[in-house]
Amino acid sequence: MLAALLALVASSARADFRFEEGFEKPASTPATAYLASRGWYDLASPVITTAESNTGGASLAYTIQQGQTAAGGMRLRIPSSRTLYLRFARKYPTTWLWPLADHALHDFYVWANAGAYQAPTSVPFAFYVEAGSRTVGGVRRNGISFTQTKNAVGVYSGYEDPEFVAVFGGGVWHVVEAVIRMNDAGQANGELAMSVDGVERIRRTGLSFQAAGGNLLFDQIFFGPYFHEGARQTQAFWTDDVVVSDAPIAGPVAVPLPIWMGLLGGALIAALAGQPLR
């Protein structure tokens, strides 16, 4: 019965849009030229390396100098969608130093109604998929799952792993998956979720991201790591196998069951009505 239900979800939640980036550029092509040809823009000296990879033979390397808050990023325009799925692989070195303050490192942003080159602080709506640090009961938890949203007037709402599990260990690749569904204007039916290595860490439903009369749709991805108090040392991390879609992501790295199950009821209704889930 469960297999049949999952098959129904897969068939009803057909992707109209799917973008995959494995950073497998030709050796003779500069990283900036390759990424621009793939649709990325606002590129700040990106580095593609063959020294680290999750799959294939390359990944995107991000290096920040001690004391820096940011060291560039890149943006990708996508077709407007009410629901957005994001998956990527991430590796931190064993020498990685997490922040001393209790907050998350900005990482991947999912933007709604964003203009070209618009300042991140002025985008109408942003969903952040991040890793962060907390001190809980006197114990430091480095590398916990964290998401947050920012509305048009700059109000942030944070949603972290309620169990504060440290999931981002150094020296190994981790697979991060996240989904956000925009609420119907004026209704509290928005939702978001985040999993790491196939285990769901965050899920929130019944959320209201936009008020009555709103028309927010996700239309841009921004990779822009930001260290609030500055990096504690010069250090690098790697990103690989980025996938962006408007439907559950199937592929070489399996989608964790909880994300499928979280949308199961809506998918069943949509399938019976002959409508795709959005």
Give the CB-side neighbour count of residue 57, counting CA atoms within 13 A.
4
pTM for this structure?
0.85
Answer for the pair 17, 81: CB distance below 8 angstroms, yes or no.
yes
Share in percent of the chain as helix, strand, coil (round to 5): 15, 40, 45
Mean per-residue pLDDT of the chain: 88
Q: Looking at the predicted structure, is the pLDDT value of residue 252 above 70?
A: no
Of 257, 274, 278, 277, the C-alpha closest to 6 is: 257
Q: Residue 2 — very low, low, confident or very high, per pLDDT cuts 50/70/90? A: very low
Predicted pLDDT of residue 153? 80
What distance in Å separates the CA atoms of residue 249 and residue 117, rounded to the nearest whole number? 28
Enter the DSSP assignment of 199: E
**Segment among 6-20, 31-45, 155-169 with least mean pLDDT:** 6-20
Tell me the sheet residues that pair with 76. 40, 221
**CATH label, 2-272, candidates 1.10.357.10, 2.60.120.200, 3.40.50.300, 3.40.50.1820:** 2.60.120.200
pLDDT, position 275? 43
Cα(46)–Cα(40) distance, integer angstroms? 11
Tell me: pLDDT of 277 over 70.
no
pLDDT computed for residue 13 by the predictor: 56
Contact indicator for 160, 143 with CB cutoff of 8 Å: no
pLDDT-derived band of residue 103, with 50, 70 and 90 as boundaries?
confident
